[in-house]
Structure 1
Amino acid sequence: MEVIYREVEGVCERGCLDKNGVAKTICVRQCVSPSCFRDLYQHDMLEEGEVDVRLNSFKGCFVQRYNKFRT
């Protein structure tokens, strides 16, 4: 599943080339999974310089929702 996540993330990164720093991270995460982004970040947005301790949870959310739509 990591490979699929990386592929989606790569496509999203190309769509966020005009952004830098935390704005780019937010752009990419919103693109990868708007619903997971909303669940994990909307009420406590990332700030510049913050270590993103929610990344593993975000990836887990992505995998769960991806698998849900595949079955």
Structure 2
Amino acid sequence: MTGDQFLKQKLEWVKTSDALHPLRTKAEGQELRIRIGDFPEESMYTLLVGEQEVAQFDDWPKTWVRPR
């Protein structure tokens, strides 16, 4: 699955204790994490599948559910 496909998929995220990677979830049998970027020099978020960067973005996808 590509980064763009993950960005369009409905995903529910959970909080972690890692300040650099504060959210994680599982999809397609893989662990996904969000890394916070040094905005505005970098994108606000980077999506990682395992250790691989698959997408960078600034606007939270509408199909993703943030933890409360």
Q: TM class, shorter-chain normalised?
A: under 0.3
Return the structure number with greater helix share: 1
Higher relative strand content: 2
Structure possessing the higher radius of gyration over alpha carbons = 1
